[in-house]
Amino acid sequence: MTIKYESLYKKEFVQIGTIRKAHGYKGHAKIGVDDRYLADLTEQKFLFIHIDGYYVPFRIEEYLDQNDHIIKLKGIESSEALKRYHLYNIALLKEDLNHAQEATEQAEEIDALLGFSIQDAEYGSVGTIERIEDYPQQKIAIVMINGSEKMIPLHPSLIEAIDTTEKVIYTALPIGLLD
């Protein structure tokens, strides 16, 4: 029987977050994870902790709570054992990322809307996007209206069409959003 050994030294890793703190006393970890990597993380069997310059693999035994990002890693059996890794970076193999690439491409597409004007079905001409800010759930367009900044969510349910030639975003904003 031949066992193929492939070195992790040649692999590319992507940092996805950090170990925040222990959850309970059995070694469960509350982790902070960049939202664009969540879908990829839940599909993985291994997570890598960056220890002394190396990415060390740990088998993911359990996802206790995906909303609070609580996981259990094999070999870490107590909150005391987990303390050693407090605020350590965690990573996945780049080759295992599928969903993150899609999220990155979508984010780049939204960032390209800077300078576009917004034309709304109810409000008419709203203004020009001055800047785009990242919020936990979505990107927000900042538009100057009568000397004050207004925040407009760049959510697909609010965007009816985008004319890239004329640089216009056609929206259906909720009543009262700009008041």
Q: pLDDT band at residue 72, thresholds of 50, 70 and 90? A: very high
Domains, the chain, with CATH or none = 8-105 (2.40.30.60), 112-171 (2.30.30.240)
Rounded to the nearest integer, the mean pLDDT of the chain is: 85
For residue 138, give the DSSP letter. S
Q: Are 63 and 71 in contact (CB under 8 A)?
A: yes
User: Can you tell me the mean pLDDT for 56-84?
Assistant: 90
Q: Which residues of 94-128 are buried (b: 16+ CB within 10 A; e: fewer)?
A: eebbeebeebeeeeeebeebeebebbbeeeeebbe
Model pLDDT, residue 4? 45
d(CA 87, CA 90): 9
* C-alpha torsion sign, points 157, 160, 164, 168: negative
